[in-house]
Chain A
Amino acid sequence: MQTGRNAPGPLHVAVVGSGPSGFYAAEALLRSEADVRISMIERLPTPYGLVRSGVAPDHPNLKQPMIVYDRIARTEGFSFLGNVMIGRDVTVDELLATHHAVVMACGAQVDKRMGIPGEDLRGSHTATEFVGWYNGHPDHRDRTFDLSQEVAVIVGQGNVAADVCRILAKPVDELRQSDISAHAIEVLAESKIREFYVVGRRGPAQAKFTSKELRELGSVTDCVAVANADECILNEQCEKELAERSNMNATKNMELFRRFADQIASDARRRITFRFFASPKELVGQERVEKIVLTRNRLEGIAFSQVARPSGETEEIDCGLVFRSIGYRGVPISELPFDEDRSVLPNKVGRILEGDRPLPGLYVTGWLKRGPSGIIGTNRADSMETVENLLADFPSLTADPKPGVGGLQQLLEERGVRSVNLSDWINIDSAEVERGKKEGKPREKFTRIDDMLDVLADITCPVRV
Chain B
Amino acid sequence: MQKQLSHPDLSGLLELDSLNSRGLRPFTAADKVTLGRVKPQDRPKETRLPHIVTDNCQRCRFTDCVGHCPVECFHSDDERLYIDPDVCIDCGACIPACPVQAIYEVIDMPDGYLPWIEINAERSRMLPLIIAKQDPLPTAEARRKELDF
Question: Considering only CB atoms, which chain A residue lies closest to B48 in the complex?
Answer: A61
Give Cα A212 to B133, complex, Å. 26
Q: Is the CB of B91 within 8 A of A384?
A: no
Q: A377-B94, A384-B67 are in contact. Are A71 and B44 (CB under 8 A)?
A: no
Q: A63-B35, A384-B67 are in contact. Are A76 and B22 (CB under 8 A)?
A: yes
> Which of B32, B72, B91 has the most chain A CB atoms inside 10 A of its CB?
B91
Q: Is the CB of B68 within 8 A of A377?
A: yes
Chain B's nearest CB lies how many Å from the CB of A438?
13
Q: How many residues of B contact A (CB 8 A)?
A: 44
Q: Is the CB of A384 within 8 A of B31?
A: no
Question: Considering only CB atoms, which chain B residue lies closest to A63 in the complex?
Answer: B35
Stretch with Cβ within 8 A of B (4 or more), from A26-34, A105-113, A412-420: A26-34
Q: Which residues from chain A contact B118 at a C-beta distance below 8 Å?
A: none
Give Cα A75 to B149, complex, Å. 40
Contact partner, A380, options B24, B37, B69, Cβ 8 Å: B69
A464 within 8 A of B: no
Contact partner, A376, options B15, B42, B93, Cβ 8 Å: B93
B136 within 8 A of A: no
Chain B's nearest CB lies how many Å from the CB of A208?
13
Give Cα A245 to B96, complex, Å. 11
> Which of A31, A58, A64, A76 has the most chain B CB atoms inside 10 A of its CB?
A64
A433 within 8 A of B: yes
Chain A's nearest CB lies how many Å from the CB of B15?
7
Q: Is the CB of B22 within 8 A of A30?
A: yes
Q: Chain A interface secondary structure, helix, strand, loop or mixed?
A: helix
Chain A's nearest CB lies how many Å from the CB of B29?
11
Q: Which residues from chain A contact B49 at a C-beta distance below 8 Å?
A: 212
Q: How many residues of A contact B (CB 8 A)?
A: 49
A140 within 8 A of B: no
Q: Is the CB of B35 within 8 A of A384?
A: no
Give Cα A62 to B94, complex, Å. 14
Q: Is the CB of A380 within 8 A of B43?
A: no
A178 within 8 A of B: yes
Q: Which residues from chain B contact A234 at a C-beta distance below 8 Å?
A: none
12 contacting pairs across A/B (C-beta < 8 A): A30-B19, A31-B15, A33-B18, A58-B44, A61-B91, A64-B31, A64-B32, A67-B32, A67-B35, A68-B72, A211-B108, A384-B67
A residues at B contact (CB < 8 Å): 20, 27, 30-31, 33, 58-68, 71-72, 74-77, 174-175, 177-179, 210-212, 245-246, 248-249, 252, 375-381, 384, 433, 436, 440-443
